[in-house]
Every structure is written in C-alpha cells, then in structure tokens.
Chains A and B, each alone.
Chain A
Amino acid sequence: MAIKILHLYSDFMNLYGEYGNIRLLTKTLEEKGQEVSPESKTITDKDIDFTAYDFIYCGAGTESKRTFALNHLMKFRESLKEAFDSDKVILFTGNSWEMLGKSITTAEGKVLEGLKLFDFTVKEQNARRLTGDIKAKADFPDTELIGFINKCSEVEGVSSPLFTLTMKPESFASDMEGIREKNLFGTQIVGPVLVKNPTFCEYMAELIIRNK
C-alpha cells in the first residue's frame, strides 16, 4: 500500500518553498522503495479525514492567511485530534503549528480560539518582524539542525519543546523552540526545513515507514 501524504493548504500556507519538504520527502521515501501518493487539501475542501493519511504537513503563512486556515481547520478539529492521538506523523512548520494551541492573540488584540490540541498560547505583534538564521539541537536526530525563522509572535506554555536553539537572533525571547508530542512535530522554522536538514528528512522518512 502506498504511503499517503497530505499537504494541507499548500496553495497559501507557503511563505516560501514549503513544498520543497514534500518533494524531498517523497523522493526520499521512493528511494527507500516505498510507493508514495501525495495529496493536497485546501480551504475549498469540505471533507477531510486526517486519519486516512500516514503523514500530514502544513507550512508557514502570512498572519491573515493563518487566520483563514484556522477558521477552516476548526471544522476538522476532531479528525485532526484523532490522527494525533493515533500516533500519525504530523509536521507543522512556521506559524502553522501555533494554530494547535489554546489561543492566538493577534497584533490587533483579537483573541482567536486555537485548535486546543495543546495548552500553549500565542501572542503576535506588528511592531517588529523577528527574522534570522538559527541553529538548533534536538534529541532526534542528534545532529545540529539549521534553518530560518520569520515570525512576529512569541509562544508560551509549551511543555515539550522540539528544539533548543544554539544560535538565534537577539530579538528572540526564548531559546526553546517548537513542540514535540507523540509523532507531532511543530517548528517555527519556515521554508524547506527538511531540504536543509537531510538528517531530519531521513528521520521523518524512517518514522513514517515504521509507523505505517
């Protein structure tokens, strides 16, 4: 049976080059002898069953597009929760993982209800864009990872961060970054994070195969 990959909101949650993650992961899985069937779902889809996929990915977007995605995704919260609870491999990058918490307070002061898979809260501002190259360390794979972060938010209340940042711009409040719960990975790194980090890509590919 083919490995089913879902790229969620690939047409607008793409700050830049996020599809590279899917292209490279597909290639890596194929090189391991797997058959892969990648699929996209977006805002116009009325029916999404997250439990039907072996891997679910969502990339970074602008703040307005994130709100747009969140409103739509809220309808499928139960299905996403079920996929998460049943150990599906999930990767949310950039600001997309921030949707998974309790709430997001926008720069305009509006409080958006989150998907409530976790208890963290997010606060955005529009005075200063927080950008820069980063280096990160995790306990999986144990190599140093690199990436770029492009955000306007700070997250509070994550109990199990994904990374410790070993290099970061001074403007970042914390050196803990992202989230890891079960097989869900959330990181603020934008763009093709798996392309830049072959060991991360390899780890994800193996995890997906094992978990199938």
Chain B
Amino acid sequence: MNKIKVFLAVAFCKTVRFFAKLLGRGSSLPGALTLKLFPNILRDITPPEKIIAVTGSNGKTSTVELIAHVLKESGASLVYNKEGSNQIEGVTTMLLCDCTLSGKAKSKVALIESDERFAKYTFKYIKPTYLFITNLYRDQLTRNGHPEWVWGAINDAISEDITLVLNADDPLVTTFGKGRNALYFGADKLSFDKDVNDSVYNDGKYCPICCAPMTYDYYHYNHIGSYNCSACGFKKPETKWTITDADLKSKTLTINGKHTITLSFSSIYQCYNSLVAFAAADIAGVKPEKAVAALSGYKMQSGRIMDFTFGKAKGTLLVSKHENSVSYDQSINVVTNDQQDVAVLIIVDKISRKYHTEDTSWLWDIDFEKLNSDNVKKIYLAGSYYKDLDVRFSVTDIPKDKLVICESVESAMAKLKDEENFTYAITCFSDKGKFLEIIKKGEV
C-alpha cells in the first residue's frame, strides 16, 4: 500500500512540476498540491544520505548557491532548492522530483534552504544531518516579530539528532549550541574590525543568556564579533572553520591560516558566505584545495550585485533587503569604502512583494548618518515612501544640498540620467524590478 502511495505521490509531483514549468509557475506549487493529497509523504520516501540545511536571517540564498557550486564542482551527487522556495512546499517538490518512482532519492546529498520560521514544519519529516544557522538579525519584523521570537521558532525545529553548525560571532545564534551537538564557524580579529559598535543600535549589548552587559574584544560589523559576558561566562566559542585573515581591498580571504580564496566581490558578507561553503564542503568530504579552487573568483548568480549604465550614469546596484537594517548598513559600507566620488540612489517604493505593510520603522535602524562622507556627493531618495526617507534624513547631519527628493522611481531616474558621479543604487528585491526595467528601456 505504502509503495503504491509513494509511486503515486512521486509521479503526481513530477507531472505537476512538468506542467508548472511549462506554464512558468514556481517550484512551490507541485509540492503544495502533492502535500494536499499525501500529507505525510516526506516520511515515506528514502531521503538522501546527507541533508545539509541552511537557515538564518541573511545570506541563506547566497550561501546555498555557493555550497551547491562547490559541491557540484567537486562532483558530488547533489539536489538543492535553487529557486529559493524555502518553505515545506518547495522542499517537497525538490525532494520528490529527485526520487525514483519507488521513492528513493537519486542524489547522495540534499541541500535545503529553509525559512527560519517554518523550519519546524519542514524538519518534522526531513531531518537535516547538519543545520547551518548563519545569523539572526532584525529582519522583516512585520511578520517575524523580533530576533528572539525567530530564535524560539528555530529552537522548536532542532531535534537531538541534528548537528548544528553555528555562527560563533553572533551571540544569539551561539546560544542554540548550549547543551547540544554543535560545531562553530567564525572570524578571528580582522584588520577592518572596530572596537566599538557605532551602528544605530547594538543587539549584542546584553548577554542573551543572563541579560548582564557584555564586553566585546572586537566587532566585525553591527553586533557580530567576539563577545564575553563576565557575569555568566557566556562567550564566543572556539571555531572549527575560521577566517584568519581577510583583506577587502585585495579581495582575499584566508581560512584556517592556510586556505586563501580570491573573492570576485569583496564584502564581509561574501567572506562569511564563502566560509560557510568551505565548512559545508568539508562536512561533505570535499578536499579543502578543491573547495578553494571552486570558490576563488566565483561570481554570484543570484543577482544581488549588478552593474548598470543609464544615460550618463554608470554604477552598481546593491540589492539590499527592506526591513533589514544590517543589509542596508552593509551596502552603505560598500559606498563609503569606495575611494572615488559617488552618488547614491535609495529606492523605497514597495516594502514587500510577499505581503502588504506600510511600516517604515526599520528606516530608523539603518545608519544613514554614515553617508555623511566626503566621497558621497549626492543622494537621491526615491519611491512612494520618499516622505519617510526625507524625514529620516532630516535628522542626520547630511547637508541638505546633497539630497535630491524624488516622489517616484521614474522622476529619480529622469534626474539620474545626467549624473556624472559613479552611482550606487541601493534597494530591495521588491523594488529592483521597476529600476531595472527603466535601465533596460534606456529612458524614462
């Protein structure tokens, strides 16, 4: 009976997937329909031997792309959710389409990007062998509540048989390892580290275990760094995979003192993502030399960084996440680290493409004050939330004459056409479409 059920479910899922693809539909639908007919199907299939899952606030998609690239380059037999459908429906599609009709996985390794809030549903039947947790930030609080709330949701998804692979530099993430089977990755003190957290807020100020004030030896960025609670002894743990050196100017990164990777785009984010990919490759049995070769010079396909030309303007699009101040802070860091004179275009037109909200509180968590830098000559603030941006910038010390307030993306682009400085466009997935469409047309 079970065999027939599995046969039917796999065949059904593959068929729906085939037609969904023809119709240009995403990878969630086949899994969703299959789960309606066969709610417990994931329990009845034989999954791949090793399941590596990745969750956290930022960097999931990029990390999964990098891990997949390294594993594929080294000849691993792999299946992964490359379209980023990271809830149970997408994972079901991916696993069932990888199965034979008797329900046995064809691939040896499955790589799963998992939404942090829904991990507990996905992991109910498909237990990761290793669960990577990248970080926990203030992210989409409109649906996530706050980082500690998300912590609770992930914590409910962790069962004893999962080995955790945790970012040791993020205090809240580290607490998942308490009393559990955990390995850690992180970065030693780096040349660009800071002694103080000078961002708008400091989510690492108090110990996540006992709430006493913590001290930091160094901050890599925001509250990510080496922390220590003198009251309860909680501190950054020893790391198995470690960035021992990183140079953002020469775009190099050294892991465990001997494996040096050349990055195609240098940001601290890319360093962490590469470190996670290196660690995952190690776990999957890939030799470090092979991982280094695969990671070196690799250009991300996920379209977070893109060059553009529009009229006189030349620049780079840095896709950030609305409702996620750390991702904006990272983009601002790229802007201010540039040696040349630049212009900046910030677009907030639609806050999310997945749900409706008009909340712009998160703009106040972004350290826009840092754009008060000599190399930043002009700042275009654009989109339907231009008034919110205007008020936010009005409490910074950025000179008024540098600000160009534009009530729509179109009106901003009409002005940008004549911009002579190199331009960084900072916006979110939800707003990059409109921007890129105008770029493609070449006119407003």
What separation, in Å, do the CA atoms of A188 and B97 have in the docked complex? Answer: 46
What separation, in Å, do the CA atoms of A94 and B358 have in the docked complex? Answer: 18
What separation, in Å, do the CA atoms of A126 and B150 have in the docked complex? Answer: 11
Interface check A23, CB cutoff 8 A: yes
Interface check B206, CB cutoff 8 A: yes
Task: Give B146-158 as 1s and 0s: 1 = Cβ < 8 Å from A's Cβ atoms.
Answer: 1111001000000
Q: Is the CB of B211 within 8 A of A65?
A: yes
Given the known A-B contacts A20-B395, A62-B148, A150-B146, are A190 and B205 also in contact in the complex, defined by CB atoms under 8 Å? no
Given the known A-B contacts A20-B395, A24-B395, A62-B146, are A148 and B357 also in contact in the complex, defined by CB atoms under 8 Å? yes
What separation, in Å, do the CA atoms of A23 and B394 have in the docked complex? Answer: 10
Most chain B CB within 10 A, of A17, A63, A152, is at A17
Chain A residues, CB < 8 A from B26: none
Task: Give A55-74 as 1s and 0s: 1 = Cβ < 8 Å from B's Cβ atoms.
Answer: 00000001111001000000
Q: Which of A8-16, A46-54, A110-118 lines the interface with chain B?
A: A8-16
Chain A residues, CB < 8 A from B200: 19
Interface check A186, CB cutoff 8 A: no
Q: Is the CB of B364 within 8 A of A19?
A: yes
Task: Give B189-227 as 1s and 0s: 1 = Cβ < 8 Å from A's Cβ atoms.
Answer: 000000000001110011000010100000000000000
Interface check B38, CB cutoff 8 A: no
Interface check B365, CB cutoff 8 A: yes
Given the known A-B contacts A17-B363, A17-B364, A148-B359, are A64 and B141 also in contact in the complex, defined by CB atoms under 8 Å? no
Q: Is the CB of A16 within 8 A of B213?
A: no
Q: Is the CB of A16 within 8 A of B145?
A: no
Which residue on chain A has the smallest CB distance to residue B200?
Answer: A19
Interface check A192, CB cutoff 8 A: yes
What separation, in Å, do the CA atoms of A63 and B202 have in the docked complex? Answer: 17
Q: Is the CB of A133 within 8 A of B358?
A: yes
Interface check A131, CB cutoff 8 A: yes
Q: Is the CB of A129 within 8 A of B359?
A: no
Interface check A81, CB cutoff 8 A: no
Interface check A176, CB cutoff 8 A: no
Interface check A44, CB cutoff 8 A: yes
Task: Give B340-364 as 1s and 0s: 1 = Cβ < 8 Å from A's Cβ atoms.
Answer: 0000000000000000111111111
What separation, in Å, do the CA atoms of A62 and B138 have in the docked complex? Answer: 11
Given the known A-B contacts A16-B362, A16-B364, A17-B365, are A195 and B391 also in contact in the complex, defined by CB atoms under 8 Å? yes
> Which residues of A, 194-209, contact B by the 8 Å Cβ criterion?
195-196
Task: Give A11-48 as 1s and 0s: 1 = Cβ < 8 Å from B's Cβ atoms.
Answer: 11011111110011001000000000000000110000
Chain A residues, CB < 8 A from B148: 62-64
Which residue on chain B has the smallest CB distance to residue A10?
Answer: B201
Interface check B163, CB cutoff 8 A: no
What separation, in Å, do the CA atoms of A190 and B144 have in the docked complex? Answer: 14
Task: Give B126-147 as 1s and 0s: 1 = Cβ < 8 Å from A's Cβ atoms.
Answer: 0000000000001001111111
For residue A166, give the distance in angstroms from its CB to the closest CB of chain B. 15
Q: Is the CB of B211 within 8 A of A16?
A: no
With beta carbons under 8 angstroms apart, the residue of B211, B325, B361 that contacts A68 is B211
Which residue on chain A has the smallest CB distance to residue B202?
Answer: A11
With beta carbons under 8 angstroms apart, the residue of B145, B205, B211, B359 that contacts A191 is B359
Task: Give B387-398 as 1s and 0s: 1 = Cβ < 8 Å from A's Cβ atoms.
Answer: 000011011000
Q: Is the CB of A24 within 8 A of B145?
A: no
Chain A residues, CB < 8 A from B391: 24, 195
A contacts, CB < 8 Å to B: 11-12, 14-20, 23-24, 27, 43-44, 62-65, 68, 126, 129, 131-133, 146, 148, 150, 152, 190-192, 195-196
Closest 9 CB pairs of A and B: A17-B364, A191-B361, A129-B145, A148-B359, A20-B364, A17-B361, A62-B148, A23-B395, A68-B211
B contacts, CB < 8 Å to A: 138, 141-149, 152, 200-202, 205-206, 211, 213, 325, 356-365, 391-392, 394-395
20 contacts between A and B (CB under 8 A): A15-B141, A15-B146, A15-B361, A16-B325, A16-B361, A17-B365, A20-B361, A20-B395, A43-B213, A62-B149, A65-B206, A68-B206, A126-B152, A133-B359, A150-B141, A152-B149, A191-B361, A195-B364, A195-B391, A196-B360
